[in-house]
Chain A
Amino acid sequence: MTNNPEYFKAERDQEWRVALRSQIKNKERTSRERVKMPEQDPNIRNKNSLEVNLGLTEEQAVSEAQRCIDCPNPTCITGCPVGINIPKFIKYIEARDFLSAAKTLKETNSLPAVCGRVCPQEVQCEAQCFYTQKLKKPAVAIGHLERFAADFERNSGKISIPEIAERNNIKVAVIGSGPGGLAAAGDLVKMGYSVTVFEALHEIGGVLKYGIPEFRLPNDIVDVEINNLRKMGVEFITNFVVGKTSSFEDLKAKGYVAFFTASGAGLPRFMNIPGENYVGIFSSNEYLTRVNLMGAAKADYDTPVLFGKNVAVIGGGNTAMDSVRTAKRLGAERAMIVYRRSLDEMPARIEEIHHAQEEGIEFMNLNSPVEYFADESGRVNRMRLQKMELGEPDSSGRRRPVPLTSSEYDVDVDMVVVSVGVSPNPLIPSAVDGLNITKWGTIHVNPDNMQSNISDLFAGGDIVRGGATVILAMGDGRNAAAGIHAYIQQTLVN
């Protein structure tokens, strides 16, 4: 990744960029309104699984790109975990050279079509944009533009397959096929390694496939990326649980000399309250996986257990929003968010909260479940909620929810999705003797190269960060690929 200021300056000083800047006055650029992403109508989209956001038109994209004033000191880049050369790709859009824009994105981001859709730009690049920082106006829609360029390239059929170094027949194993694993595999195969990705599930893509729903990230977009990796020579083996199907030792015996673990944080957490074991109460992980991967949402699929009339989702994060909006799409009459703090404290992205509200999701803020009840067959039919108020701020500065005494009341539900967080799956950490694990159960690595204390084992993504974002997982994957390369060069080749 090239992200030093001189490089960005040299790029900015190129003739075409200088010329482009002079075409429109800054005053004119900054007086424009931020583009609005075209969306499906809320009352239609809450009954289908098509993408909510429809994508910018060429004209919209060019006009939005013109808002960017191509700052001499592009602070937006500092907000991007993988240091995308943001002004450069945006200026290519302004110049209508969309394929070059996509190529610029791919210099540092292997999955721009995905990131353009799911990155929390409002706390990353867009939070550091000149508009946000200095003008106190809505930021340039960097995320929308990223998506536009990536989609344009894909639809043009001219996706460039990167050059691959000569194969060196050195075998490297990647564990997990989420964004972390895919990014590492992409870089390693480019360097000439023989890369095998082992995936426990039958589908490749990790959370991109089984977590984030179709209406936010269509599966075919992920598939295009996976197919590219296949074309580049990455081998995928599914239904293969490292640590169970085979141990690390078995894999070493088969010739793998280094490992990148991106096994995610897929172990659901619960609240540990009475009745949480009743039928009809799921973790968001199980619920979304079943709906997304196992075709459970299709009409001919016989799992009535996944359809609820009155569905409560416990939690206020993105997973909670994805779950509740999925429940609505599967026909829930009442789809409720039950969250113990107020709307302002919700960790979910504002866009997701807003979309959910438009789609008719009920928000029961300052409420927390204390117990569930079931009918004779053991299926949940009622939950007891307790009202909360916000007390003193805790150490992180957020106000702590405090129960109001004698405020309990009951609400009818026939399905509950618990979305209160996850922890790292302990299988891999416990499969390796002597591996350094943090208090969180995450794998401890050197942040420079993602190497663990076991020298041939590298790790990244949620298994290291305890639940992060697509872009961070990807950045880790790339970082680890470079680390693995250096490690192999040092220990094996020399």
Chain B
Amino acid sequence: MIDLSTKYIGLHLKNPIIAASSGLTANIENIKKLESNGVAAIVLKSIFEEEILQQEKDLKNEVQKDSLIYSELSETLDYIDIHIKEDTLNVYLELIRKAKKETLIPIIASINCVTNYEWTDFAKKIESAGADALELNIFLNPVDTSDKDFEKTYIEITKNVTKKVSIPVSVKISQYHTKPAHVIQKLSETGATGIVLFNRFYTPDINLEKLELTQANHFSNENEYLNVLRWIALMSKKINCDLAASTGIHSAETIIKQILAGASAVQIASVLYSKGIDYVSVLLKELENWMEKHNYNYLNQIKGKLSQEKIQDPAAFERMQFMRYFSGIE
């Protein structure tokens, strides 16, 4: 009997596969389906600050179209942003309650935040709605050219939220940082119980026939895991919080690699879209097969086996690797 269980941010997971935050984790039917196919935990679709603003715009447009709805002098419309936010938050809290009621696996709520103060109060409500943990998907746009100190904002948001709630808080970060090692280190010292490496962003492409900008694939491909692997391997033994790997994890082998590098769990999204939710059971089966073949009984036996724990100075290490890698090529 192979034991795939693992601990991630204080949650006991029956295996390392977490359904990453995506459109598939936005409704109760899919959440139940994910559970029955074996995922160990679910990160709910993030609630977005921007989305609330968009809804406000849509609703206002609708008002202008509906001749019966009265808008002049209306106090309700005057505060419509606040009402929409309240309604959206209530719908989200309801999803948490429902997911908790109808499944047995840990449910991790996710907030996409860009500002510091708005969400701390909401974090408390998420906690009382029953979420087992909270993932902060802090989205600071890498194309911002101002001299705003992004790293500081990350730390401040994390600090404020962890102060307010007692459930575990993880932070999902992007790969765009001047000094990822520093940010990861700082976050772990600030109170984050876990860090998710990395979020994946919208990528533009160019259509050569129409000569226009298009949206590149929404979904990752199976080679995209390499950068994640590097940072998990580099950091997992240097910090005292858990890491979860996300982006480009499409096969059981990649899951094993991330665990070997030191991840406590993995989060998958694209593969659930491309191969279907049932594919989770295939992944689990393959994980067991690999373990069996390599004579491991417990996942913990392989966790962090290949992390670069001895590396004191990752920068020097990377420079060395770079030199060696290219030195043979002429």
State whether the Cβ of B203 lies closer than 8 Å to any Cβ in chain A.
no
Inter-chain contact B74/A317, CB cutoff 8 Å: yes
Contact partner of A421 (CB less than 8 A), chosen from B56, B66, B79, B85, is B79
Q: For chain A, residues 42 to 75, give those with C-beta under 8 angstroms from any C-beta of chain B.
A: none
Inter-chain contact A349/B78, CB cutoff 8 Å: no
Q: Closest Cβ of chain B: how far from A305's Cβ, in Å?
A: 24
* Complexed CA–CA distance, A422 and B78 (Å): 11
Contact partner of A394 (CB less than 8 A), chosen from B60, B67, B75, B86, is B60
Point out the residues of chain B lying under 8 angstroms from A423, CB to CB: 76, 83
Contact partner of B60 (CB less than 8 A), chosen from A272, A318, A395, is A395
Inter-chain contact B73/A349, CB cutoff 8 Å: yes
Q: For chain A, residues 201 to 239, give those with C-beta under 8 angstroms from any C-beta of chain B.
A: none
Residue of A nearest to B86 (CB): A272
* Complexed CA–CA distance, A265 and B83 (Å): 15
Contact partner of A469 (CB less than 8 A), chosen from B73, B75, B77, is B73
State whether the Cβ of A269 lies closer than 8 Å to any Cβ in chain B.
yes
Point out the residues of chain B lying under 8 angstroms from A464, CB to CB: 68
Known pairs A316-B78, A468-B70 / 20 extra A-B pairs, C-beta < 8 Å: A120-B73, A317-B74, A318-B75, A319-B75, A347-B73, A347-B75, A394-B56, A395-B61, A419-B75, A420-B78, A422-B76, A423-B83, A438-B69, A439-B62, A440-B59, A442-B69, A447-B68, A464-B68, A466-B76, A467-B74
Given A269-B86, A272-B89, A395-B57: A421 in contact with B68 (beta carbons within 8 A): no
Point out the residues of chain B lying under 8 angstroms from A421, CB to CB: 74-80, 83
Inter-chain contact B79/A447, CB cutoff 8 Å: no
Inter-chain contact B79/A269, CB cutoff 8 Å: yes
Residue of B nearest to A345 (CB): B78
State whether the Cβ of A493 lies closer than 8 Å to any Cβ in chain B.
no
Point out the residues of chain B lying under 8 angstroms from A123, CB to CB: 72-73
State whether the Cβ of B121 lies closer than 8 Å to any Cβ in chain A.
yes
Inter-chain contact B75/A271, CB cutoff 8 Å: no
State whether the Cβ of A472 lies closer than 8 Å to any Cβ in chain B.
yes
* Complexed CA–CA distance, A183 and B81 (Å): 34
State whether the Cβ of A175 lies closer than 8 Å to any Cβ in chain B.
no
State whether the Cβ of B311 lies closer than 8 Å to any Cβ in chain A.
no
Point out the residues of chain B lying under 8 angstroms from A394, CB to CB: 56-57, 60
Inter-chain contact B82/A420, CB cutoff 8 Å: yes
Point out the residues of chain B lying under 8 angstroms from A265, CB to CB: 76
Point out the residues of chain A lying under 8 angstroms from B82, CB to CB: 269, 271-272, 420
| Contact mask for chain B residues 26-45; partner A; CB cutoff 8 A; 1 contact, 0 none | 00000000000000000000
Residue of B nearest to A340 (CB): B79
Inter-chain contact A466/B70, CB cutoff 8 Å: yes
Point out the residues of chain A lying under 8 angstroms from B60, CB to CB: 394-396
State whether the Cβ of A387 lies closer than 8 Å to any Cβ in chain B.
no
Q: Closest Cβ of chain B: how far from A275's Cβ, in Å?
A: 10
Report whether over half of chain A's contact residues are helix, strand or loop; otherwise say mixed.
Answer: loop
* Complexed CA–CA distance, A423 and B61 (Å): 18
Point out the residues of chain A lying under 8 angstroms from B78, CB to CB: 315-317, 347, 420-421
| Contact mask for chain A residues 414-453; partner B; CB cutoff 8 A; 1 contact, 0 none | 0000011111000000000000001110100101000000
Chain A's interface size range is 35 or more
| Contact mask for chain A residues 387-406; partner B; CB cutoff 8 A; 1 contact, 0 none | 00000001110001001000
| Contact mask for chain A residues 301-328; partner B; CB cutoff 8 A; 1 contact, 0 none | 0000000000000011111100000000
Point out the residues of chain A lying under 8 angstroms from B77, CB to CB: 347, 396, 421
Chain A contacts to B: CB under 8 angstroms: 120, 123, 265, 269-274, 315-320, 347-349, 394-396, 400, 403, 419-423, 438-440, 442, 445, 447, 464-469, 472
* Complexed CA–CA distance, A318 and B73 (Å): 8
Q: How many A-B contacts at CB < 8 Å in the complex?
A: 100
Point out the residues of chain A lying under 8 angstroms from B74, CB to CB: 317, 347, 421, 466-468
* Complexed CA–CA distance, A420 and B56 (Å): 16
| Contact mask for chain B residues 48-70; partner A; CB cutoff 8 A; 1 contact, 0 none | 00000000110111100011111
Q: Closest Cβ of chain A: how far from B289's Cβ, in Å?
A: 50
Point out the residues of chain A lying under 8 angstroms from B76, CB to CB: 265, 269, 420-423, 466-467
Point out the residues of chain B lying under 8 angstroms from A465, CB to CB: 68-70
Point out the residues of chain B lying under 8 angstroms from A440, CB to CB: 59, 69
Q: Which interface residue of B56, B60, B67, B82 has the most chain A CB atoms within 10 A?
A: B82
* Complexed CA–CA distance, A394 and B57 (Å): 8
Q: Closest Cβ of chain B: how far from A353's Cβ, in Å?
A: 12
Q: Closest Cβ of chain A: how far from B265's Cβ, in Å?
A: 33
* Complexed CA–CA distance, A423 and B69 (Å): 12
Q: Closest Cβ of chain B: how far from A219's Cβ, in Å?
A: 23
Inter-chain contact B56/A271, CB cutoff 8 Å: no
| Contact mask for chain B residues 110-132; partner A; CB cutoff 8 A; 1 contact, 0 none | 00000001000100000000000
Residue of A nearest to B82 (CB): A271
A-B contact pairs, 18 of them (CB 8 A): A269-B79, A272-B86, A316-B78, A317-B73, A317-B74, A319-B75, A320-B75, A347-B75, A347-B78, A395-B56, A420-B79, A420-B82, A421-B74, A421-B79, A440-B59, A442-B68, A466-B76, A467-B75
Residue of B nearest to A274 (CB): B121
* Complexed CA–CA distance, A138 and B147 (Å): 52
Point out the residues of chain A lying under 8 angstroms from B69, CB to CB: 438, 440, 442, 465-466
Q: Which interface residue of B66, B75, B89 has the most chain A CB atoms within 10 A?
A: B75
Point out the residues of chain A lying under 8 angstroms from B59, CB to CB: 439-440
Residue of A nearest to B120 (CB): A274
Point out the residues of chain B lying under 8 angstroms from A349, CB to CB: 73
Q: Closest Cβ of chain A: how far from B73's Cβ, in Å?
A: 5
9 A-B pairs with least C-beta separation = A421-B76, A317-B75, A468-B70, A420-B79, A465-B70, A421-B75, A395-B57, A272-B86, A347-B73
Point out the residues of chain B lying under 8 angstroms from A420, CB to CB: 75-76, 78-79, 82-83
Residue of B nearest to A124 (CB): B72
* Complexed CA–CA distance, A262 and B40 (Å): 51
Point out the residues of chain B lying under 8 angstroms from A396, CB to CB: 60, 71, 77
Point out the residues of chain B lying under 8 angstroms from A469, CB to CB: 70, 73
* Complexed CA–CA distance, A320 and B73 (Å): 12
* Complexed CA–CA distance, A464 and B66 (Å): 11
* Complexed CA–CA distance, A228 and B86 (Å): 43
* Complexed CA–CA distance, A439 and B66 (Å): 11
Q: Which interface residue of B62, B76, B86, B121 has the most chain A CB atoms within 10 A?
A: B76
Residue of B nearest to A408 (CB): B117
* Complexed CA–CA distance, A269 and B56 (Å): 16
* Complexed CA–CA distance, A319 and B117 (Å): 29
Q: Closest Cβ of chain B: how far from A474's Cβ, in Å?
A: 13
Q: Closest Cβ of chain A: how far from B140's Cβ, in Å?
A: 16
* Complexed CA–CA distance, A120 and B68 (Å): 17
Point out the residues of chain A lying under 8 angstroms from B83, CB to CB: 269, 420-421, 423
Residue of A nearest to B71 (CB): A396
Contact partner of A438 (CB less than 8 A), chosen from B57, B66, B72, is B66
Inter-chain contact A447/B75, CB cutoff 8 Å: no
* Complexed CA–CA distance, A1 and B270 (Å): 62
* Complexed CA–CA distance, A318 and B81 (Å): 19
Q: Closest Cβ of chain B: how far from A292's Cβ, in Å?
A: 18
Residue of B nearest to A271 (CB): B82
* Complexed CA–CA distance, A349 and B217 (Å): 52
Point out the residues of chain B lying under 8 angstroms from A468, CB to CB: 70, 74
| Contact mask for chain B residues 68-107; partner A; CB cutoff 8 A; 1 contact, 0 none | 1111111111111111011001000000000000000000
Q: Closest Cβ of chain B: how far from A396's Cβ, in Å?
A: 5
Inter-chain contact A467/B86, CB cutoff 8 Å: no
* Complexed CA–CA distance, A467 and B85 (Å): 19
Point out the residues of chain A lying under 8 angstroms from B57, CB to CB: 394-395
